[in-house]
Amino acid sequence: MSRVLMCPPDYYGIEYEINAWMSRSRQSDRARAIEQWQTLRQLIEKTGAQVELLEPVPGLPDYVFTANAALVYGRRAIMARFRPQQRQPETPHAAAWFRDHGYSVETIPEPYCFEGAGDALFCGETLFAGYRIRSDARGQQELGRMLDCEVLPLELVDPYFYHLDTCFCPLGPGQALYYPPAFDDYGRRVLQARIDDLIAVCDDEARQFACNAVALGHTVLTHAGCTHLHEALRQRGFTPIGIPLDEFIKAGGSAKCLTLMLD
Ligand code: ARG
C-alpha cells in the first residue's frame, strides 16, 4: 500500500511572491481551497493509498506543498534547503515529523539548495533532477552520492516551470509525461534517450499544470480540463481523473505538489 504525505490548507494563502504564478493581488479563496484539497485527499484514499498528515503551521502558507519538504528514499528523508527565505522555516517542522515517524533525517551538504521531491523524481532506478531555479545541480550530484544512484540533471529554463514536477512526471519505469519547452535542448535529448514512452503535454495543458499529476497505480490525478493528456493516458490503460485545483495554481502548484510519496 502506498503512503502519501499531505498538509491541510488551514493557513494556505498567497502572502508573498516567489514564483511567476503568485500575485498577492490574486488571493486564494479559503473555502474553495479546502474543498479542492479534500477532494484530492479523498481520491487518493480511494486508490487504496493511505494519507498521512503534517500539522499545518500558522504563517507558513506554502507548507501545504509537501512535495518540497524532502525526498524520501526508503526510511531516509533528505530534507529540503529552500532557496526562498519565506519557505525556509518549513524545514524544522517537517524534519520533526519525519523524526517522529522513524525516518533518518538527512541534509545535502551546504550551501546547496534543494527543494525535495519537487525537483528530484525517480523514473525506474534513475533520479531525474531539475536545477537552476530552485535547486542547485552540484547539490544533486551530492544527493546521488548519498543515495548511491544515478542522477540525470535537467536544467529548467522557463520561470513558469520552476520545479521539475511542474514539467515532468514519471508514470512507471520507462514511462513519463513532460513539457518539452521547459527544458533546454540537452535536457530534452536526455529525456528522449532515457525514457521509452515519453508523452509530450501541449502548451495549454502544461499551463494547467497537467504534468503536476499524482500517479498511483493506474489512476492519474490532475487538475481539471487536461483533455488531450487524459486521452493519451486512457490509450495507455490509465484511468485519469480531473479535479479543480485552481486555488493552488494561484501559488504555482497542483496535485503532485500537494503530495509527497512516502514509499
Ligand atoms: N508557492 C510554492 C513555491 O513557490 C509552490 C510550490 C509548488 N511545489 C512544487 N512541488 N512544484 O515554492
The domains found in the chain, sorted by start residue, are: 3-261 (3.75.10.10)
- Pocket lining: 166 vs ligand 1, CB cutoff 6 Å: yes
- Pocket lining: 165 vs ligand 1, CB cutoff 6 Å: yes
The residue behind cell 514512452 is 197
Look at ligand 1, atom 9, and give the residue with the nearest C-alpha: 257
101/168 Cα distance (integer angstroms) = 29
Measured in angstroms, how far is the CA atom of residue 252 from the centroid of ligand 1?
6
Q: Which helix (H) or strand (E) holds 97?
A: helix 90-100
13/109 Cα distance (integer angstroms) = 31
- Pocket lining: 7 vs ligand 1, CB cutoff 6 Å: no
Catalytic residues: 163, 257
237/230 Cα distance (integer angstroms) = 11
- Pocket lining: 146 vs ligand 1, CB cutoff 6 Å: no
pLDDT of 263 over the 90 cut: no
Measured in angstroms, how far is the CA atom of residue 168 from the centroid of ligand 1?
14
In this prediction, residue 1 carries a pLDDT of: 82
Query: What value does the mean pLDDT of the chain take?
Result: 98
Q: What percent of the chain has pLDDT over 70?
A: 100
Confidence of residue 237 (pLDDT cuts 50, 70, 90): very high
Ligand 1 atom index nearest CA of 67: 10
From 202, 254, 256, 250, select the one nearest 27 (Cα to Cα).
250
